Structure 1
Amino acid sequence: MSILDKILGNDEPRDTPAKPDHDMQKVLDELAALGPKPIETLSPEEARRQPTPTDAVKSLLRKDGKNPDDDLGVATRDFTIPGPAGAIQARLYGPDLDKPNDRLSPVVVYFHGGGFVFADLDVYDGGPRGTSKMADCIFVSCHYRQAPENKFPAAHEDAVAAYKWVTENAQSFGGDPQKIAVMGESAGGNLAINVSMAARDQGLPVPVHQVLVYPVAGVDMDNESYRENANAKPLNKPMMEWFVKHIFNDQSEAQDPRVNLVGAANLAGLPSTTVILAEIDPLRTEGEQLAEKLEQAGVDVRHKTFNGSTHEFYGMATVVPDAMAAQTFAAHELKRAFGTAILPI
């Protein structure tokens, strides 16, 4: 199937139990060969040392004789952003960061996944790097305080602070303050939409677009995709229960509108939105519900679920064609929102 078919939604319908496609399965097999222990059996400190899907992708590239650290022609620069409880680690991505350029570039403020407990800018490098290249824009990938050392809403506070800093300082790194979007994967997808809601409610400049990749969006762990993917890899129901145990001071906090987006949040007045989901993912159903609720709130939404792919696939474009298709889709929607897409004559 071509990348265009993937983007247009011409996948086969789900009429049999979902199985990873060939390239996705190769990554899962390679991850299994690295010997990760079940996250739900570990402490947060132990979990942070486990092999990741990114490690599996790099291992496959090495076996194919390819450079696992290929920068794709995208320069990076690490720096820090002032946060409410200390410095926030951040990384700039851009094809022209190292070149003199009088043109201000659109900016995407990006937040990584990891269940609010683990992962960092390195683990989630593939998504911002690849999308920056294809969308021809600057990405600012932002870390945030993690649980259980810093429980909810510490990560959300850091995300809003990072976004506010970017809106005020974009020109210092060649960014266009009038063309700033937000994006995130998994827990980072939740942070991204929360930034949009905070901007709306606090009188900050509202992002021109948001890309939500399999976002954390609800609290129902007995919905369709949770039942289908209770034991899926690399994300499953026991892992999500483990995350919840570490994130909150009290379980009632999960009902907060910043977490229970599909059940409690006001989504009116948010920017145009791209929702990217994976079929083999417990978060799929709540992502679909979020897309529907955004549409009901009057938001312009484009949504695509990639069949045969699992949670975490988005950053795997160097080895998984679905990931390349997803990044192409996201890049196109970002350029459309920024007004930088080249339209056919």
Structure 2
Amino acid sequence: MPVDPQVQQLLDLRATLPPLHTLTVAEAREQFAARDFPGLRIPKVACVVNRDMQGPAGSLGLRIYTPPGHGSSPRGPFPLMVFFHGSGFVVCSLDTHDGMCRNLCAGAGCVVVSVDYRLAPEAKFPAATDDCLAATRWAVANAAALGADPGRVVIAGDSAGGNLAAVTALRIRDEGGPKLLGQLLVYPVTDHYDPGTPSMMENAEGYGLTRDGMIWFWDHYLAARWDAAHPYASPLRAPDLSGLPPAFVVTAEYDPLRDEGEAYAQRLQEAGVPTVLTRWDGMNHGFFFAPGIVDKAGAAIDEACAWVRSVCA
């Protein structure tokens, strides 16, 4: 189907911005931080608290969202979601994904712990995944103090954050860690851009995220080219995906990452992992940012939240 008209309006508004791959890292971060989406659906949550934990390389920032009803609802303690924001491993922050986390918190009825992991190029692979693993373990160990249930834990992320969620699930399986009930992977990065996929070429430009942008991100993230083959960088290349928690994988029709996300879902299914794959036609990479503006974005977040509630029931 053609690009959704509501998505096209957003693309048109941003058409005059310089391409990501032509910017410095500082300029790219400023561009993403300045994004504004008037009319967003921002649901109420009970409270939002910033705090720090001791990470692998020093202080690691967290933002903790508590759903409505905390302290009085008989449903508490709440399930726990550890969330890793997208960024291409280079840009974005707790602030850029605040609205997304509020929608996940209220919609899924979870305590959400959003992780301010180290970004590249200042901290290259595997720094981000080390932080995300440590934060997941911290969140589970401190679940009771957060009003959450350490026995009902899911991890989640969008784009590069989806990569980090998938990798965190792999590392917990391989290295030991808390039991996970699920992994929510929203248009995840699962493989290096080389050799690439048909969707990487079909959607190379014109839909927000570009192939050149992905090359820019990967080149900043990896310290060495051969790191691209490591399953903790490219989880699609992991030789064995068995024994992982159930997955919900979201892809978008007009996304360079569509095919690698769907290939990962297929491999999970083949490995015996209960996996739901949902492709949103007419959508582009990043559409989860736009509930309240793009109708399908709100519907997609609602569907993802319903899955989280089901695995945590």
Summarize the Cα distance change of 1:155–1:165 in structure 2 as closer, same or farther, 3 Å threshold. same
Distance 1:245 1:203 in 2: 30
1:48 aligns with 2:55: no
1:285 aligns with 2:259: yes
Stretches of structure 1 lacking an aligned partner (at least 5 in a row)? 1-13, 62-67, 340-345
5 Å-filtered alignment, 1:197-216, equals: 197-216=170-189
Distance 2:207 2:195 in 1: 16
1:57 aligns with 2:37: yes
Question: Number of matched residues?
Answer: 310
Give the secondary structure class of the aligned counterpart of 2:259: helix
| Correspondence for 1:169 among 116, 119, 142 | 142
**2:58 alignment counterpart:** 86
How much does 1:144 deviate? 0.5
Cα distance per residue 1:109-144 (max 9 Å; x no partner): 000001000100111122221121111111111111
Stretches of structure 2 lacking an aligned partner (at least 5 in a row)? none
**1:247 alignment counterpart:** 221
Distance 1:318 1:125 in 2: 15
Q: Which amino acid aligns with 2:37?
A: V
**2:106 alignment counterpart:** 133
5 Å-filtered alignment, 1:218-237, equals: 218-219=191-192, 220-237=194-211
Give the secondary structure class of the aligned counterpart of 1:148: coil
Give the secondary structure class of the aligned counterpart of 2:296: helix
1:125·1:315 contact (CA, 8 Å) conserved in 2? no
Distance 1:221 1:129 in 2: 36
Summarize the Cα distance change of 1:319–1:203 in structure 2 as closer, same or farther, 3 Å threshold. same
1:304 aligns with 2:241: no
2:185·2:247 contact (CA, 8 Å) conserved in 1? yes
1:148 aligns with 2:128: no
TM, length-normalised to structure 1: 0.86
**2:130 alignment counterpart:** 157
Distance 1:141 1:21 in 2: 30
How much does 1:97 deviate? 7.3
How much does 1:36 deviate? 2.5
Give the secondary structure class of the aligned counterpart of 1:333: helix
**2:306 alignment counterpart:** 332
| Correspondence for 1:124 among 94, 97, 105 | 97
TM, length-normalised to structure 2: 0.94
TM superposition outliers: structure 1 runs of 4+ over 4 Å: 97-102
**1:77 alignment counterpart:** 49
How much does 1:78 deviate? 1.2
Q: Which amino acid aligns with 1:79?
A: R
Distance 2:281 2:176 in 1: 39
**1:342 alignment counterpart:** none
RMSD: 1.7
Cα distance per residue 1:263-286 (max 9 Å; x no partner): 234211001100001111110000
**1:275 alignment counterpart:** 249
Distance 1:328 1:316 in 2: 13
Distance 2:239 2:252 in 1: 23
How much does 1:322 deviate? 1.1
Distance 1:175 1:90 in 2: 15
How much does 1:81 deviate? 2.0
Distance 2:295 2:276 in 1: 20
1:113·1:119 contact (CA, 8 Å) conserved in 2? yes
**2:5 alignment counterpart:** 22
How much does 1:183 deviate? 0.3
